[in-house]
Structure 1
């Protein structure tokens, strides 16, 4: 065994006393700078006015942690502001929907709000019915055709989010160019009424696992209104 290995083995077999630690730190004055994590385990009383570099280092570590906490707090504050904006926009949308006198007016309110208030790139509301009765933003599609085109997206009662195939995307958003991602929400009351969808040309904008509370809330409001509003204010 080499002399170096003998020294290591010997050092491992004995316990260090305070004086040895003290002498080592005096010889290696940058030890704590190279291992700042040890400061978490040290307790130093800073009682007098003379500067103590170790305490200053501890203060520096605490200052860094304080900055990290500030960044987290700022992030939480920004999220809270975004949630406030979403609440106000959702409230305004609900009021618009409640003011609608008929189904065309309801669809207009939904589409205009998605475009103007929420700045959604693509939006769609499709009701089951005779396509010949479609007009403006009121779009009817036969139940069978919807099942054929996007039946897999409407199986549950919750929104389905993610990238869509080109044929699915173009069916839901006929005016869109390249396919992207979307959130598709079925409208189900006493019967299957249709669905709403919001989309983006960005394939990653809507993804599995994202929050969909907004769409669930709007869908609940739409279902109740669709079931009671006339197809036209002439009825």
Structure 2
């Protein structure tokens, strides 16, 4: 003789079990009124759909839509909280940098480890012999104008795709791997550099995408980096 298997939370409930439970707990829906909107109770009106039934159906659909919207808002809020925490850590690391190398190392580390950015390029325009050594690529401003003039003319962040010439200039050997980019010039009186990030997915950085984060980081760099550059 085998023992009858005890039901678990994973087992589906038998309709009779549900009916018996509700009979023994008639106040159940008083304490769980949020479930009433999900109940389906057809009105006895023959083959036609009654006005009451139609109204309940519409209210139920609106309720589901509102729940979905609320869920998306909560998801966005959680993502924004995460982005804020990552950005705060990055800003503090930049502020704690003791020299140009520290600041640029902190930027690359955060973009790579915290933000999972596939490729980061930071260019500084000037004479390489007069700039401290760092992960930044140092090029002459004339060379930059020759390769990425349209990007230098803008004073705001931009997203989308670039030609092979621009990609090679900004990302060097990784140019062939890049699908889409976001760029922002670094400006302190005049343009002194370019910050660019890239993703392998051609649709990741789109022209319609918000650039608030990248623009904010650029504003911080605009205030931190110039004091380390030759006057």
Pair 1:62 & 2:82 matched: no
Residue by residue over 1:102-150, the C-alpha shift from the partner in whole angstroms, topping out at 9 and shown as x without a partner, is 1111111111110001000111111112245574413211101111111
Contact kept? 1:134, 1:140, Cα under 8 Å? no
Pair 1:116 & 2:113 matched: yes
Contact kept? 1:170, 1:179, Cα under 8 Å? no
Contact kept? 2:123, 2:137, Cα under 8 Å? yes
Residue by residue over 1:135-173, the C-alpha shift from the partner in whole angstroms, topping out at 9 and shown as x without a partner, is 441321110111111111121110121111112112211
Cα drift, residue 209 of structure 1: 2.5
1:102 aligns with one of 99, 102, 112:
99
Contact kept? 1:149, 1:168, Cα under 8 Å? yes
Contact kept? 2:100, 2:132, Cα under 8 Å? no
Large movers: runs of 4+ above 3 Å: 28-32, 131-136
2:171 aligned partner: 173
Cα drift, residue 201 of structure 1: 1.6
Cα drift, residue 54 of structure 1: 3.6
1:129 aligned partner: 126
Contact kept? 1:102, 1:230, Cα under 8 Å? no
Pair 1:227 & 2:226 matched: yes
Distance 1:31 1:154, change over 3 A: farther
Question: C-alpha root-mean-square deviation of aligned residues, in Å?
Answer: 2.0
**In structure 2, what is the Cα distance between the partners aligned to 1:156 and 1:134?**
27
TM-score by length of 2: 0.73
TM-score by length of 1: 0.72
Aligned residue pairs total 184
Contact kept? 1:154, 1:186, Cα under 8 Å? yes
Residue by residue over 1:83-103, the C-alpha shift from the partner in whole angstroms, topping out at 9 and shown as x without a partner, is 111111111110010011111
Contact kept? 1:166, 1:178, Cα under 8 Å? no
* Structure 2, unpaired ranges of 5+: 1-44
1:138 aligns with one of 136, 140, 151:
136
1:46 aligned partner: none
**In structure 2, what is the Cα distance between the partners aligned to 1:179 and 1:81?**
29
Pair 1:202 & 2:201 matched: yes
Larger Rg: 1
**In structure 1, what is the Cα distance between the partners aligned to 2:132 and 2:147?**
18
**In structure 2, what is the Cα distance between the partners aligned to 1:136 and 1:179?**
23
Cα drift, residue 73 of structure 1: 0.6
Residue by residue over 1:160-194, the C-alpha shift from the partner in whole angstroms, topping out at 9 and shown as x without a partner, is 21111112112211241334211110001122210
